[in-house]
Structure formats: structure tokens, C-alpha cells
């Protein structure tokens, strides 16, 4: 064999080997997975809060003018604020007697009852439940002339410490007007467990005419949310309110400790290839069971109605918290989970009631959640795809206190009809926690 032929054979062998190796490399690439077994975990991540709600009141409402910028109320002016509460809730608040070193008006530590023994709302003049308190943070001076009191002091927190550092009813050598000569507090019931409270400065003509400063309020169940009589100030901001009329620190603390925790109800899940099978955004409820789920946490009717619908691959109900032996609502810190098989092109939809509501539910967008992409199954935290929906079947009330909401209603389907009967993302003027503060949805593959 000639040298030229040998060279050609060797070159051909090299080329063939390279091609073979290239083919082997390509064949080792993993194919895209188009089938998978998924597990969905639904976790209630709503927190525990010391108080139901709280706020700051700071805008004077003059008898002659519209609401003004934040500031104290002078004789003849008022503060006014709205809040909601359910039977068992109480109201506490505090506002500074400005011509003092550290005195404030507030009810006692138990707070003000908002409902009687028959759960009827309490209304009217409640001034007799207020007292003048000494915060025990600064030495008292004669009211109205003390150089360490807000009208005359060089700056906040300038007076010497009180040798008696406990919060107590004011009892010093000075003379003060009676509570009713300075402040008038009126509670009005607005319906649906909603209230309006007015604080009026009535000190005109009293022995001491004093402004009243911006303050805080809190809706609570346990006693002593702002202070404990006979004990030192908690250090949460009452000192600034009582000495300088500044409610911001205490208001911020109360806001952090206030909130709405809610159970999540048993729900329905569907794997589908069609459009969303149980609602269409902007359209009335299909009347196939979503109302039962969204108003009363009952998934049974909706689950049954889905049987045999075109485009539905699989469906099911989640109703038993993990680790539990019986169906029930999902309390904070607990999870529901379910498992299913799916193919590329399948989508997941689900619905679970936001229990502290009239007809709200969590679910994905109208088209559901895609389970696959070009790389294969989609997994991970999918909470960002969750929306809070209004079923449009019952008029909304203040979340967490509405009398026609599941925890408080006399029976299922008892609320007034929603004048807007379309399914839509909730937008009713009330404030709700962010979705990721209530629910977490995680997808894994098995």
C-alpha cells in the first residue's frame, strides 16, 4: 500500500472517529421532560398579632371648617376616626392633656366595651370611662405654666425624671378641671360592626383651657395594651405621646403589632387544558359551586360540578391539614398538600376561601398556572401568581369583623347580595394583608 493511500485511510479514520464521538455526545443530552408527578403545598403563613387594629388620630375637624393639617385640637374642635370591631373586642386610646408635663386622657387598662352581653353595639357618650393619667416619666409642674410643658419648653423631653416612674391616675399638689370639663367622647354605630368615635375638646370656659394632642387608638381583646396601672411605662412610645403630644412612636409600635390573621378553608384543585373551569374574570359566577366555596368554605358543590367538563384532566379537593386525621380549616402555620400527574400543556387552577371575608378566595389567574415550560416541569414558590378574588356573590364587609362572614354569621349564605355580581380581583376600599402575608404555594416534583 502506497504512502498516499495510507495517509488517506488514517485521515478518514480520524474523521469517522470524530463524527462518532460527536454523535455519542449529542445522544447524552437529557431530553425535555414532558410528564411529571407534582406535589402542591398550600401553607397558611398569616402571623399572630397582639391587636386586631390600631391607628393614629391627628387631624382636627373644626365645627366651621373642613379637616385641617395634623395638629392639636383647640377648644371647640374635634378628632374623629372610624374603626371596626367584633363582639369581644375593646377600644383603648390616649391623647395628651397639653398643658402638662406627661398627663394624658385614656380609659383604664381594660379598655372600653363595644358590645353588651347580648352582642348589641354600645353607643353614646362614653366620657365617663375616661380618666386623667400620669405617665410617670417627667416631674409635674403647675398646669399651663410649667417651663417643661410643650407650650413653653425649649424642646421635647426636657423635664427631669419623675421619681415615681409608674403610670397612675394623676394625684399631685395641683388642681385640674374634671375630665368632662375638658374632653367629650362619643361613640356612634355605623352598622356591620363599624363605629365612628369623636373626641371633642370642650375646655372653653373651664378652669384650664387646654389643647388636646394627636393620639393613638387600638382595638384589642387582652387588657392593658397601652399601659398597666402601677407599673412603669412600657417604653413603646407612650412617653413621647404624654410629654410632647407626639403619637408617632407608639403608633408605629401598635401598627407592627396589629393585623388580621385568617384561616384558609378547604378548596378545590383542577388540572386542565381548557380555559379556567370555574370562573371568568369580569363575568358573573357560573353558579356551579364557587359561591359555596367563596362564602362558606364548602368545596363540595364546585368539585361535583366539574365532573365530566371538557378540558379537565384531573380534579380534587384539599380539606385535611397535613398531620391531621380529619378535615378542617387551615390555621396559621399549617399546610394542605396534594399530588397529581401532569403532561406538558397542562395547567393548574385552585381556589381556597379567605375565611375572614364575605366571598373572597385565593386562586391563580384566569388561565391557571402553567406546569411546564421549554425546559420541563415548573417548580418552586408560586405565591407570586396568586390573586385574591371577589366572587361577586355577597356584599363585602370590613375583613375580620363583618357579621355575615363565616366565623360570625348565623348560617351559610346569609349576607346581602353584591351589587357588582362579577368575579374580579378584590377592590372594595377595605385594607387586606398582602397575599404573601397569608398564603404560600409551593410546587415540587416527585
pLDDT of residue 66: 53
Q: Which helix (H) or strand (E) holds 199?
A: strand 194-201
Residue 90 has pLDDT above 50, yes or no: yes
For residues 78 and 215, membership in a common domain is answered with: yes
Domain contains 10: no
Lowest mean pLDDT among 56-70, 127-141, 159-173, 311-325: 56-70
DSSP-derived secondary structure for 16-40: HHHHHHHHHHHHTSPPPP-EEEEEE
Segment 303-333, tens digit of pLDDT: 999 999 999 999 999 999 999 999 999 999 9
For residues 288 and 393, membership in a common domain is answered with: yes
Domain boundary among 223, 256, 289: 256
Task: Report the distance separating Cα 290 and Cα 319, nearest Å.
Answer: 16
pLDDT of residue 61: 87
pLDDT band at 10 (very low <50, low <70, confident <90, very high): very low
pLDDT of residue 219: 98
pLDDT of residue 9: 42
Task: Report the distance separating Cα 221 and Cα 110, nearest Å.
Answer: 9
Domain contains 3: no
Domain contains 355: yes
Residue 367 has pLDDT above 80, yes or no: yes
Task: Report the distance separating Cα 35 and Cα 21, nearest Å.
Answer: 30
Mean predicted confidence (pLDDT) in 330-341: 97
pLDDT band at 3 (very low <50, low <70, confident <90, very high): very low
Helices (H) and strands (E) in the chain, counts: 6, 24
pLDDT of residue 68: 60
- Global pTM? 0.87
Domain contains 170: yes
Residue 7 has pLDDT above 60, yes or no: no
Q: What's the domain count of the chain?
A: 2
Residue 198 has pLDDT above 70, yes or no: yes
**Contact of 389 with 361, CB cutoff 8 Å:** yes
Lowest mean pLDDT among 55-64, 144-153, 199-208: 55-64
For residues 277 and 233, membership in a common domain is answered with: no
pLDDT band at 17 (very low <50, low <70, confident <90, very high): very low
pLDDT of residue 67: 52
For residues 57 and 44, membership in a common domain is answered with: no
Mean predicted confidence (pLDDT) in 208-226: 97
Average pLDDT, the chain: 92
- Would you call 31 exposed, middle or buried from its count of C-beta atoms within 10 A (0-12, 13-18, 19+)? exposed
Domain boundary among 210, 228, 256: 256
pLDDT of residue 157: 87
For residues 60 and 175, membership in a common domain is answered with: yes
Of 10 and 218, the one with more pLDDT: 218
How big is the chain, counted in residues?
446
Domain boundary among 240, 256, 272: 256
DSSP E strands in 376-438: the ranges are 376-377, 380-381, 387-390, 424-425
pLDDT of residue 16: 43
For residues 355 and 420, membership in a common domain is answered with: yes
Domain contains 71: yes
For residues 196 and 287, membership in a common domain is answered with: no
Segment 233-282, tens digit of pLDDT: 999 999 999 999 999 999 999 999 999 999 999 999 999 998 889 999 99
Q: Which three cell numbers stand for residue 343?
A: 403532561
For residues 226 and 271, membership in a common domain is answered with: no
- Residue 349 domain boundaries: 35-48+262-445
For residues 96 and 232, membership in a common domain is answered with: yes
pLDDT of residue 29: 65
pLDDT of residue 21: 43
**Contact of 99 with 176, CB cutoff 8 Å:** no
Residue 2 has pLDDT above 80, yes or no: no
For residues 241 and 276, membership in a common domain is answered with: no
Lowest mean pLDDT among 6-15, 112-121, 238-247, 390-399: 6-15
Amino acid at each position: 500500500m502506497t504512502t498516499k493511500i495510507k495517509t488517506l485511510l488514517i485521515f478518514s479514520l480520524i474523521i469517522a472517529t470524530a463524527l462518532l464521538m460527536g454523535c455519542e455526545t449529542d445522544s447524552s443530552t437529557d431530553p425535555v421532560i414532558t410528564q411529571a408527578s407534582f406535589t402542591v403545598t398550600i401553607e397558611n403563613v398569616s402571623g399572630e398579632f397582639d391587636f386586631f387594629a390600631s391607628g393614629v388620630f391627628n387631624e382636627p375637624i373644626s365645627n366651621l371648617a373642613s379637616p385641617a393639617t395634623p395638629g392639636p385640637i383647640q377648644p371647640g374642635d374635634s378628632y374623629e376616626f372610624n374603626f371596626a370591631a367584633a363582639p369581644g373586642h375593646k377600644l383603648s386610646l390616649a391623647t395628651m392633656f397639653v398643658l402638662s408635663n406627661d398627663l394624658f386622657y385614656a380609659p383604664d387598662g381594660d379598655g372600653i366595651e363595644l358590645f353588651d352581653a347580648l352582642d348589641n353595639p354600645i353607643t353614646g357618650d362614653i366620657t365617663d370611662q375616661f380618666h386623667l393619667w400620669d405617665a410617670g416619666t417627667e416631674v409635674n409642674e403647675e398646669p399651663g405654666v410649667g417651663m417643661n410643658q410643650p407650650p413653653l419648653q425649649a424642646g421635647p423631653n426636657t423635664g427631669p425624671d419623675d421619681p415615681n416612674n409608674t403610670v397612675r391616675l394623676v394625684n399631685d399638689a395641683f388642681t385640674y378641671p374634671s375630665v368632662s370639663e375638658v374632653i367629650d367622647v362619643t361613640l356612634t354605630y355605623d352598622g356591620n360592626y363599624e363605629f365612628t368615635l369623636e373626641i371633642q375638646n370642650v375646655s372653653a370656659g373651664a378652669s384650664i383651657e387646654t389643647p388636646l394632642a394627636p393620639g393613638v387608638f387600638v382595638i384589642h381583646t387582652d387588657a392593658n395594651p397601652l399601659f398597666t396601672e402601677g407599673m412603669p411605662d412600657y417604653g413603646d412610645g407612650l412617653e413621647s405621646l404624654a410629654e410632647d403630644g407626639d403619637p408617632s412612636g407608639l403608633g408605629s409600635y401598635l401598627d407592627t403589632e396589629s393585623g388580621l390573621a385568617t384561616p384558609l378553608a378547604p378548596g378545590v384543585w383542577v388540572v386542565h387544558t381548557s380555559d379556567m373551569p370555574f370562573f371568568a374574570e369580569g363575568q358573573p359566577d357560573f353558579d356551579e359551586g364557587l359561591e359555596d366555596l367563596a362564602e362558606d368554605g364548602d368545596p363540595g358543590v364546585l368539585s361535583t360540578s366539574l365532573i365530566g367538563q371538557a378540558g379537565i384532566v384531573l380534579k380534587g379537593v384539599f380539606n385535611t391539614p397535613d398531620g391531621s386525621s380529619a378535615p378542617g380549616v387551615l390555621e396559621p402555620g399549617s399546610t394542605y398538600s396534594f399530588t397529581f400527574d401532569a403532561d406538558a400543556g397542562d395547567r393548574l387552577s385552585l381556589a381556597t376561601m379567605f375565611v375572614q371575608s364575605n366571598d373572597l378566595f385565593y386562586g391563580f389567574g384566569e388561565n391557571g398556572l402553567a406546569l411546564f415550560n421549554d425546559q420541563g416541569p415548573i417548580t418552586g414558590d408560586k405565591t407570586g401568581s396568586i390573586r385574591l378574588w371577589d366572587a361577586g356573590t355577597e356584599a363585602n364587609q370590613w375583613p375580620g369583623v363583618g357579621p355575615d362572614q363565616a366565623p360570625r354569621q348565623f348560617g351559610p349564605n346569609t349576607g346581602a347580595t353584591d351589587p357588582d355580581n362579577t368575579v374580579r380581583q378584590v377592590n372594595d376600599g377595605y385594607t387586606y394583608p398582602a397575599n404573601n402575608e397569608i398564603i404560600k404555594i409551593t410546587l415540587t416534583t416527585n
